[in-house]
Chains A and B, each alone.
Chain A
Amino acid sequence: MVDTSTQELAENECWELLRTQQVGRLALIVDERPVIFPVNFAVDQGTIVFRSAEGSKLDTLADRPHVAFEIDGLLDGEAFSVVVTGQGTEIEARDELIDALELPLYPWNPGPKHHFVRIVPESVTGRRFRVADRRELHPDDTPPARARPE
């Protein structure tokens, strides 16, 4: 039986994985509802920095700075995910902006990118598990049997 037990990752492993990715997803609460969108990001000394043109969504950060940020992927048959929760603040100080421009932050999106945001983490958690081969779970390649009403 394939072992798909979940491994909780140590924080340093989470940061290692974060450094391998270029795209993550940001979630925040806007008008009391969750919103989510993908962003290009870079790791910067224990923080996450991303660029975004989603100005209207990011305006809410001033009042509601709590964000969640996520990456996930598949590496050598193992699925991983890392979630960072923390406070997001727009980078506005000129010297900080200049430093942010030197980060290896290459937005894929060709549109204008006026906002640099730094996420200071409050929690960093990650998981890894071997992906269950569906043929091992369902060897006849049919959905699992279930009782039908007569």
Chain B
Amino acid sequence: MTSDIEELTPDTCWELLSTESVGRLAVSIANQPDIFPINFVVDRESVVFRTAEGTKFAAALLGRGVAFEADAEADGVAWSVVVKGQAREIEEMYELFAAEDLPLYPWHSAPKHHFVRIVPTEVTGRRFQVVDWGQLPA
């Protein structure tokens, strides 16, 4: 049983991301960091999510650099993936119709008017066997 940390290929990162529906978006607002949990979906190696119009969130992220993270742990194995990129509102009509077909079901039912795509510049991920603290000497 290995205790190494596996650095993941981008392909594996996208595969793992596809298994999650909640991630966290880190943005910079007036040079201060902030984090927002979001419902997302993977679309052709980019991350797509919906957001309400006119929110502080929308103002902070559109056209800016963002970092997105998702993680999970199951059966003693944990992984995390981070996507860095630019957040871009999906405005082209053909893209918008395609986005509406994505299986993107936000948990919150408030109206969400904008689709945003994170166009990635970097995708990294790690996977490892979770340390079993119960087995270490007291």
- Residue numbers of A with Cβ under 8 A of B are 2, 4, 6, 23, 25, 27-29, 32-38, 66-70, 72, 79, 81, 83, 85, 106-111, 129, 131-132, 134, 137-138, 143-144, 146, 148-149
Contact = CB atoms under 8 A, between A and B. Distances in A.
B96 to A, nearest CB: 9
A69 B35 contact: yes
A33 B84 contact: yes
A36 B36 CA distance: 11
Given A23-B71, A68-B33, A143 B130 contact: no
Nearest to A149: B93
Interface in B49-69: 65-69
Given A36-B68, A72-B22, A129-B108, 15 more contacts: A2-B109, A25-B26, A25-B71, A33-B67, A35-B67, A36-B24, A38-B69, A72-B37, A83-B34, A83-B35, A110-B131, A111-B128, A129-B107, A131-B107, A132-B107
A116 B130 CA distance: 19
A66 B27 CA distance: 13
A132 B68 CA distance: 23
A36 B5 contact: no
B78 interface: yes
A60 to B, nearest CB: 11
Contacts of B66: 34
A93 B100 CA distance: 53
Contacts of A28: 33
Contact of B26 (A36, A108, A110, A149): A36
A32 B34 contact: no
A72 B65 CA distance: 23
A33 B78 CA distance: 26
Contact of B109 (A35, A37, A66, A137): A137
Interface string B87-115: 00000010001001100011111100000
A25 B28 contact: no
B24 A143 contact: no
